């Protein structure tokens, strides 16, 4: 997807607080190209920056979808105080809206976490409010993780959430990925009665990626982003 295919969600932190953009100055993941997308916090301010795909039929998507991307909690001023993530089914065009978020928790070491909640909150920690699933394995800072979130809207209104990971050491970017379920993150059904998550499921909306932060010199990196919609 081209840079023009992405638009910032409203109410996010400005560029004087969190710098962002495409750069060749950061080492890419295995098989990565010449550039990646990076965020770098410049002030100790709490908030979020996030982008969504602005293509026809994607802003918003009428049903669920699938988002894939390579994500890293980059080295910087400290191992906590930030979380990079992918998201689907964002209910509006603001970081204050609800979505399903998949990314790397604000822990040291961190885990892969699936959370339902506001985009601006990101992934505070692996046991935080709204967390639906977390990986049994933890990871050190500066680890590249190739992740995939599928949001499948069933005819009865239930939403099925599935999380996968591709091992980049065995299947680098540029070769077919081998998507495997993330240990500890079994399929989650966000039922239309609101029983399992405590609220009604999210059945449509925007998809993209973002960076939640609450301290200075925190960094998040993204590469090889892909977005599909359910038809």
Instruction: Determine if the pTM surpasses 0.95.
Output: yes
Residue 3 has pLDDT above 90, yes or no: no
Contact 151, 138 (CB under 8 A): no
Contact 123, 220 (CB under 8 A): no
Distance CA 63, CA 76 (A): 38
Distance CA 20, CA 38 (A): 6
pLDDT in tens, 25-76: 999 999 999 999 999 999 999 999 999 999 999 999 999 999 999 999 999 9
pLDDT in tens, 89-119: 999 999 999 999 999 999 999 999 999 999 9
pLDDT in tens, 198-210: 999 999 999 999 9
CA–CA distances in Å: residue 216 to residues 9, 80, 98, 163: 21, 10, 25, 30
Contact 137, 184 (CB under 8 A): yes
* Domains of the chain by start residue, with CATH: 3-229 (2.60.120.200)
């Amino acid at each position: 997807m081209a840079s023009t295919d992405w638009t910032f969600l409203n109410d996010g932190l400005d560029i004087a607080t969190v710098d962002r953009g495409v750069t060749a100055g950061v080492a890419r993941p295995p098989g990565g190209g010449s550039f990646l997308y990076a965020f770098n916090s410049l002030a100790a301010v709490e908030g979020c920056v996030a982008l969504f795909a602005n293509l026809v039929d994607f802003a918003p998507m009428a049903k669920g979808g699938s988002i894939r991307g390579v994500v890293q909690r980059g080295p910087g001023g400290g191992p906590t105080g930030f979380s990079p993530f992918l998201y689907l089914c964002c209910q509006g065009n603001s970081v204050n809206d609800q979505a399903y978020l998949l990314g790397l928790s604000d822990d040291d070491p961190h885990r892969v976490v699936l959370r339902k909640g506001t985009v601006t909150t990101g992934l505070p920690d692996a046991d935080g409010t709204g967390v639906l699933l977390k990986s049994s394995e933890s990871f050190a800072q500066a680890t590249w993780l190739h992740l995939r979130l599928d949001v499948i809207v069933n005819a009865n209104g239930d939403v099925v959430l599935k999380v996968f990971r591709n091992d980049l050491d065995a299947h680098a970017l540029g070769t077919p990925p081998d998507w495997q379920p993330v240990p500890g993150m079994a399929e989650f059904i966000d039922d239309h009665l609101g029983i399992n998550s405590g609220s009604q499921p999210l059945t449509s909306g925007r998809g993209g990626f973002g960076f939640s932060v609450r301290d200075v010199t925190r960094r998040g990196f993204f590469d090889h982003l892909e977005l599909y919609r359910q038809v």
